[in-house]
Amino acid sequence: MVTGGDFRRMVAGAYSELLLEYENINRMQGGGQFAGTHILRTMGAAVMPLADVHDDSIGGLARRVSTAALFGARGNAGVVLSQLFRGISKGLEGKYEATSSEFGKAFQYGILYAERVIQEGLDRSFITVAKAVAKGAYHAVRDNLPISEILSAAIAAGESAVDHMEGDRAGASVMFVFLKGCLNGLDGNFVSPAVSLSLGVAASKGRMPSPREDLVRPYCVRFRVRSQKTSVAEIERQLKDFGIFALVEQWENGIHVHIHTDHPGRLMERAVGWGPLRDIHITNMSEYHALGINNAIMPVAAVAVADGKEQAQRMQDAGAHVIVAATKDRCPSVADLVSAAHSDLASSYVLLASDAGYWMVFRQAKRMLGERVELVLCKDEAAQERALRAFDGQKTAAENAAAMIQAAEIDTILSY
């Protein structure tokens, strides 16, 4: 049997392996200059929920990791990894522990989910090795081998495929680092992040990303407190413990609260002390859902990406209503985009990318938010600025997206 503890060690092992290898991945051709950094930060978001969760079930842990990875995904490589976790979570849903065969099948689901988001012409090496890995795992699962042997068989099958592969191998490297980390973690043969830092592994690499910087808060919680005695200021003060974004407003007979948090249960335990609660709504923003209309200020708004204050001011002058901070090595996360669209500023949104390396992140945000979000996927900052200048607040999001794509000189409408 594969237990929740086994799963914890596998995820920790994968993160540990990526800590040691992410800069090597960055240097590989074809994967994107910061593919290693993006996948490490996605993995950092994925491991954070395991720090203090009180759940020993493999299905529950897999779901938490999947939610955090989907919401915290950065860059094309991070989106692919998050989809791998999504498939694994689907395969383990509802299970307290799993047989090796069940876990192997869940892993095959993960590879299928990851393949689905990779478009033609992106990273074919990942698809090639993923198919080989799935085939190798399939035969091991069919023979009912232990999970460690299933992972070993998957790695061996992938390595054989790489030996016959031509050209770029960045995607294949990501898959191998992940699989080997899982196997090492399962066996307990991995170096923890704390130990790797104490041994000076990162001494020559500059500042290593901390997973605490990638903690995501994927639950959108809304409720009303029916009380005349609890003040807005006091609730705002207490909400600082639960999330970064929080909107607290006076209501007819009390107070309306809107917050993004990673612990909705703890939040509700605190909230019951403020007064009778009404209209409680909890949305997992990492799952596909329709963006709700909640007293929006304007019908449609534009969300753009900017690197630094100077560019942010230019984008704002061009017509952007919301600015998401991003740099080449600090790609915006899915959480940044989804949280912006949950701000109650507008009923619908146009999300503008400024780099091809962000496109899969924007597409994942679009899949989560549904039809009232449109994409304008630009290749550079100049194209994003031209697109923004075509924005018209009197048009719908779809009408704006069409006009902005034309202004940015994008060949096709690249959206789902």
For 359-374, what is each residue's pLDDT tens digit? 999 999 999 888 889 9
Are 375 and 256 contained in the same domain? no
| DSSP H or E run through 373 | strand 373-377
Instruction: Indicate whether 314 belongs to any domain.
Output: yes
Residue 231 is part of which domain span? 219-284
Are 96 and 231 contained in the same domain? no
Are 370 and 343 contained in the same domain? yes
Instruction: Indicate whether 289 belongs to any domain.
Output: no
Are 308 and 194 contained in the same domain? no
Are 127 and 173 contained in the same domain? yes
How many structural domains compose the chain? Answer: 3
Are 45 and 144 contained in the same domain? yes
Q: What is d(CA 43, CA 26) in angstroms, rounded to the nearest whole number?
A: 15
- Helix (H/G/I), strand (E/B), else coil: 370: coil
Are 179 and 224 contained in the same domain? no
Q: In Å, what is the CA distance from 20 to each residue of 13, 91, 146, 191, 314?
A: 11, 29, 27, 9, 38
The first and second tokens of residue 204, run together, are: 């020559």
Are 44 and 178 contained in the same domain? yes
Are 66 and 153 contained in the same domain? yes
Instruction: Indicate whether 115 belongs to any domain.
Output: yes
Q: CA-based angle 96:101:105, to the nearest 5?
A: 90
Domain C-terminal end among 251, 284, 317 = 284
Q: In Å, what is the CA distance from 247 to each residue of 16, 91, 290, 293, 336?
A: 37, 37, 20, 15, 17
Q: What is d(CA 17, CA 359) in angstroms, rounded to the nearest whole number?
A: 26
Note the pLDDT of residue 201: 41
Amino acid at 145: L
Instruction: CATH number of the domain at 372, please.
Output: 3.40.50.510
Are 255 and 304 contained in the same domain? no
Are 257 and 395 contained in the same domain? no
- Helix (H/G/I), strand (E/B), else coil: 107: helix
Instruction: Indicate whether 211 belongs to any domain.
Output: no
Query: 24 burial class (0-12, 13-18, 19+ CB within 10 angstroms)?
Result: exposed
pLDDT tens track, the chain, 416 positions: 889 999 999 999 999 899 888 888 888 765 567 888 899 999 999 999 888 788 889 999 999 999 999 999 998 889 989 999 999 999 999 999 999 888 888 888 888 888 888 765 455 677 777 778 878 888 888 888 888 888 888 888 888 877 777 666 667 778 888 888 999 988 877 665 544 444 344 433 446 677 778 889 999 999 999 987 888 999 999 998 888 788 898 888 889 999 999 989 999 999 999 999 999 999 888 888 766 666 678 999 999 999 888 989 999 999 999 999 887 667 899 999 998 888 778 889 999 999 888 899 999 999 988 888 999 999 899 999 999 999 999 999 999 999 999 998 876 544 33
Are 241 and 132 contained in the same domain? no
Instruction: CATH number of the domain at 91, please.
Output: 1.25.40.340
Instruction: Indicate whether 214 belongs to any domain.
Output: no
Evaluate whether 362 touches 377 at the Cβ level (below 8 Å): yes
| pTM: predicted TM-score of the whole model, two decimal places | 0.85
Domain C-terminal end among 146, 169, 202 = 202
Instruction: Indicate whether 18 belongs to any domain.
Output: yes
Q: What is d(CA 257, CA 250) in angstroms, rounded to the nearest whole number?
A: 9
Domain C-terminal end among 284, 318, 338 = 284
Instruction: Indicate whether 152 belongs to any domain.
Output: yes
Query: 32 burial class (0-12, 13-18, 19+ CB within 10 angstroms)?
Result: buried
Q: Which of 26, 44, 47, 17 is nearest to 176 (CA)?
A: 17
Instruction: Indicate whether 98 belongs to any domain.
Output: yes
